[in-house]
Amino acid sequence: MIYFSEIKNKRVYTEDGLLIGTLDDAVFTLTETPQIVKIVVKPLKQISQEALYIPHQYLLRMSPTVAVSKNYETTILAENELFVFKNLVDKQIIDMSGQKVVRVNDVVIQQKNGNFFFIGGVDIGLVGILRRFGADKIIEKVSAFFGKGLTSTIIPWSNIQPLELTRGKVVLNIKQEKLQKLHPADLADYLEATNVRNIVKIIDLLDKEFAAKVIAELNLNYQISLLKKLAFEKTVKILSLIDPDEAVDILTQFSSKRREGVLKSLPRDRRSEIEHLLKLEDTVVGQYLTTEVLTVKSSDTAAKVIEVIRKETRDMSFLPYVYVVNGQNQLHGVLSLHDLLLQTVETPIYKFMIQNVIVIHLHTSLYSVFRKLIKYKLAALPVVDVNKKIIGMITMDDIGENFLSKI
Amino acid sequence: MQAFAAKYKRRLLIFLMVFGPGVIAAVADNDAAGVATYSLIASKFGYAMLFILLIVTVLLAVTQEMGARLAVVTGKGLADLIREHYGVKISAMIFLMLFIANMGSIIANFAGLTAAISLFGLPKAPFLLLAVLFMTIFVYKGSYRTNQNIFLGSAFFYIAYIAAAFLAKPQWETAVYNLVLPVGITFSREFIFSAIALLGTTITPWGQFFIQSFIVDKKLTTDKLKYEQAEVYFGAFLTDLLSFFMIVAIAGTLFIHSIPINGAAEAALAITPFAGQFASLLFSFGLINAGFMGAVVISLTTAYAFSEFFGHQGSLDSPISKSRSFYLLFLIQIIIACLVVLSPHISLFRIVLYTQGLNGVLLPVIIFFLLRFANSKNLMGSYTNNRFYNYFATISCVVITLASIFVIMGGILGKI
């Protein structure tokens, strides 16, 4: 995730290193998931006075440097588009009842599904103000030294009424007392939860077979929270349509009562297939589980994590990933050692960890574990329990051995 | 004829409804520090300073009117506008400076209050704490209307100075003559600095923030703009009418008999032989009133500015639970001021001097913002300054800025 103040006024280069100008603003669409569709570049003085609007298709990256492809084209502002800086930053936030809440100190931008950028929320905390002064890092360090963590406070985008923005107002859709203020590391979780709500809305409209296809593509966590929210008949229908393997993954997460209920309602041949697979799910994963995993906190800096690796992992046989957990040991993110080395030392982990973690459970079949490892090209998968708490991990080489012996 | 009367009656009613912020903001400029400045200047230069007072009145009217117009048209305080147009960095820096400068002014007002309390022979610590308690109750418990009426009541008590002036039996002809004609003006360094001090005590950064926030809190709409403008002009006139009487009272007694003084309380004591015990009493009472009003208004200004800069709810009409930072900041300031005044080791003279310097630095910046906003078509639509008015406003602002630079230079060269 990126804070807008971190990229404001940064130099914008083409991929072959030609300086175009400085980043002045960004343009987003007024939707429930506001996407950054254009960046506004203030060109070098000697070239032009007019701001350049470059569509996101040409945007290569926003952080740590801003780059666009060399054959970029420019465009103009379209309808239903607003500016991040001009329309959001420093503006007054008022709640539903017209109470003033606070001002927008910064805007949080999240990178998702590759190279797409979305507005995640607005930063309303003191750290947001300090960041605009460029003093956030120092103050964070000082506060950490005194043992008091100082982090951003964020209002998620789903709490803001998009329509009011066009009238120049930042209005919340709830009362101030009910406002959820989030820590940046929790933002992704929150967004997923709100997205599930959106997906449920969409799925209800979709043709069932198509819905099944969509659901099969989702992350397991998503699938479970989604199917818990859908009506019983719809759940049965979807489970009978998706890959039995996936269905088993989901069913093992249901309560035994609901699982029995769903199984009874499934068509007979589908039911026997799934029941067979369910029998195989006898904690087979457990035999291959290694509890030798490294977990860190999302607010730790890259430097701290590197230091932990140096000190505490001497005896570990294999360290493919570092897992990020919160205070309750719930898995929040993951990072590879490569990701870690690319960062500057003082960057906190939550800024670059991958938040959409592919996980497995103790009941996941070995076949499905293997498939996931191949599909996502991973060296290991974390194993979590029903509460998302990390138990251990399964590595590629352990599973591979099992399959080798069967050939 | 009846329709004619009815029309005027209606207008008068609207005017009375609007009445308040302009007069309060202007009269509060005659706070305890203001009274001290007038006393010092009048005892030194007598009636000669009255012509400067006339100029200052016009400058005050112009700057306050722009603030009032901005408040009514945009519905936003000066701090709101600065944050939205100049960003958080400038906002935070201005807030910090305003906070320190206001803190100094509040301390000066508490000092005036303490001096006046001692004049009555009362113990200062319990009475100061009582004053803090009163201020807190007014602001915490009172609505906008209650507070406005208390301020207006306080403004009314300035009448004490008019009475004192009559008791002093000054040379009225000389006074009026000096007011309209620049006969007494000299170009000595002392005179110029005194003239600037007069300007600086009347046109202040907090005054500019206060009038705008206070009108916004009153939630006036643009159809009332004409009335509000009239009220602001009346306020500026009234304020300097009161200053006129203060100066005349001192000039007619202390200046004539060339008695040097160092402060407002000393002046109150020193006029006794010439104007009588009652005049002295009125002067002391006036000082308590001025200190009280100044302290409350200035700390409210900081509280308003903080809520606007950082977007918190801040209104005399909203309950404490909703405007926590607003009320808390108000309380913190008066408590600090009270503690500083009660502590024996702090040089009040120095605090007042630094405050003047800081206000001198801040004022041109505030005036710059004021002109920019009042001329912005985006913000003001058809209510921007017209051309003639703009020339006039710009010249006024240049004069104020030059005066401020003079103060800063004087401070740097150590010549104040």
- Residue B328 near residue B371, CB atoms below 8 Å: no
- Nearest CA among A188, A5, A8, A171 for reference residue A98: A171
Look at B88 and A101 and tell me if their CB atoms are within 8 Å. Answer: no
pLDDT score, position B12: 85
pLDDT tier, A184 (very low <50, low <70, confident <90, very high otherwise): low
Average pLDDT for residues A157-184, to the nearest whole number?
A: 75
* A132 close to B (CB below 8 A): yes
pLDDT recorded at residue B258 = 80
Mean pLDDT score, A71-85: 86
* A258-272, A390-404, B74-88: range with highest mean pLDDT: B74-88
Do A91 and B313 count as a contact with CB atoms less than 8 A apart?
no
pLDDT at A242: 76
Neighbour-count burial for A137-160, b at 16+ CB within 10 Å, e otherwise: eeebeeebeeeeebbbbbbbbbbb
B310 touches chain A (CB under 8 A): yes
**How high is the pLDDT of residue B294?**
92
ipTM above 0.90, yes or no: no
Q: Check whether A398 has a pLDDT greater than 90.
A: no
Residue-level pLDDT at A197:
67
Contact B403, B395 (CB under 8 A): no
Predicted confidence band at A60 (pLDDT cuts at 50, 70, 90)? confident
With tokens 């449920």, the residue in question is A200
Identify which of B84, B88, B313 has the shortest CB distance to residue A100. B313
Cβ neighbourhood burial of A84 (10 Å; 0-12, 13-18, 19+): buried
Residue A91 and residue B84: Cβ atoms within 8 Å? yes
Q: Tokens 């008999």 identify what position?
A: B257
pLDDT digits (tens, 9 = 90+) for B370-388: 988 988 888 888 888 888 8
Q: What confidence tier does A195 reach under pLDDT thresholds 50, 70, 90?
A: low
Tokens, residue A63: 């952080």
Distance CA B386, CA B393 (A): 10
- Pairwise CA distance, residues B238 & A12, whole Å: 58
Q: pLDDT band at B411, cuts 50/70/90?
A: low
> Which pLDDT value is given to residue A229?
75
Arithmetic mean of pLDDT, B392-415: 74
pLDDT at A90 over 70: yes
pLDDT of B334 over the 90 cut: yes
CB atoms near residue A115 (< 10 Å):
12
Select the residue of B83, B88, B311 nearest A101 (Cβ to Cβ). B311
pLDDT tens per residue, range B270-310: 787 777 888 888 888 888 899 999 999 999 999 999 999 98
What is chain A's alpha carbon radius of gyration, rounded to the nearest angstrom? 24
Record the pTM: 0.77
Note whether B80 contacts A92, CB cutoff 8 Å: yes
For residue A78, pLDDT beyond 60:
yes
Looking at every residue in chain A, the average pLDDT score rounds to 81
Q: Is some CB atom of chain A closer than 8 A to the CB atom of B321?
A: no
pLDDT bucket at A373, cuts 50 / 70 / 90: confident
Decide if pLDDT at A113 tops 80: no
Could you report the per-residue pLDDT of A11-46, keeping only the tens digit for each?
999 888 888 889 999 999 887 778 899 999 988 877
Residues whose CB falls within 8 Å of the CB of residue A272, separated by 6 or more in sequence, listed in order: none
Which comes out higher in pLDDT, residue A4 or B345? A4
Lookup: tokens for B125: 């610590």
The 3-class SS string of A83-136 reads: EHHHHCCCCEEECCCCCEEEECCEEEEEEECCCEEEEEEEECCHHHHHHHHCCH
Shortest distance between the Cα of A84 and any Cα of chain B, in A, equals 14
**Out of A96-100, A198-202, B46-50, B242-246, which region has the weakest mean confidence (pLDDT)?**
A198-202
- What's the CA gap between B198 and B113, in Å, rounded? 20
pLDDT-based confidence at residue B261 (cuts at 50, 70, 90) = confident
A99 has a chain B CB within 8 A of its CB: yes
Q: Chains A, B: CB contacts under 8 A, how many? A: 39
Which of B313, B318, B326 to substitute to test the interface with A, most A CBs within 10 Å?
Answer: B313
Please check whether residue A89 is in contact with residue A107, taking contact to mean a CB–CB distance below 8 angstroms: yes
Per-residue pLDDT tens for A207-259? Answer: 777 777 767 666 666 677 777 777 777 788 778 777 776 777 778 778 778 88
The label of the residue with tokens 């979590």 reads A384
Per-residue pLDDT of A259-287, as tens digits, reads 888 888 888 888 887 887 776 655 567 77
A133: nearest CA partner in chain B: B89
The single-letter code of the amino acid at A116 is F
Confidence of residue B415 (pLDDT cuts 50, 70, 90): very low
pLDDT digits (tens, 9 = 90+) for A300-312: 888 899 999 998 8
Does B83 contact A90 at a Cβ distance shorter than 8 Å?
A: yes
Q: What is the DSSP code string of B313-369?
A: ---TTS-TTTSHHHHHHHHHHHHHHHHHHH-TTS-HHHHHHHHHHHHHHHHHHHHHH
Q: Tell me which long-range contacts B268-271 makes (C-beta under 8 A, separation of at least 24).
A: B268/B116, B268/B119, B269/B119, B271/B164, B271/B168
pLDDT of res. B416: 42
Q: What is the pLDDT of residue B101?
A: 92
Whether pLDDT at B37 is above 80: yes
Does B83 touch chain A if contact means CB atoms closer than 8 Å? yes
For an interface test with B, which of A95, A103, A123, A131 has the most B Cβ atoms less than 10 Å from its Cβ? Answer: A103
Determine, for residues B311 and A103 on separate chains, whether the beta-carbon distance falls below 8 Å. yes
Rounded to the nearest angstrom, the minimum Cα separation between B325 and chain A is: 11
Q: Rg of chain B over CA atoms, in angstroms? A: 21
Comparing A108 with A201, the larger pLDDT belongs to A108
Tell me if chain A has a CB within 8 Å of the CB of B218.
no
Q: Which of B130, B127, B118, B78 is nearest to B372 (CA)?
A: B78
pLDDT, tens digit, 9 for 90 and up, residues B122-160: 888 889 899 999 999 988 888 888 889 999 988 888 888
Q: Taking residues A125-135, what's their average pLDDT?
A: 83
pLDDT averaged over every residue in chain B: 86
Any B CB within 8 A of A169 CB:
no
- CA-based nearest residue to B393, from B78, B57, B63, B25: B63
Is A215 at the interface with chain B, CB within 8 A?
A: no
Residue A188 has a pLDDT of: 62
What are B96-126's pLDDT values in tens digits? Answer: 999 999 999 999 999 888 888 888 888 888 8
Tracing tokens 């001097």 back to the chain, one arrives at: B353
Angle at which helix B50-74 crosses helix B387-413, to 10 degrees, equals: 120
Helices (H) and strands (E) in chain B, counts: 19, 0
Other C-beta atoms within 10 Å of B77: how many?
28
Instruction: Provide the angle, in degrees to the nearest 10, between the axes of the packed helices B78-119 and B348-374.
Output: 150
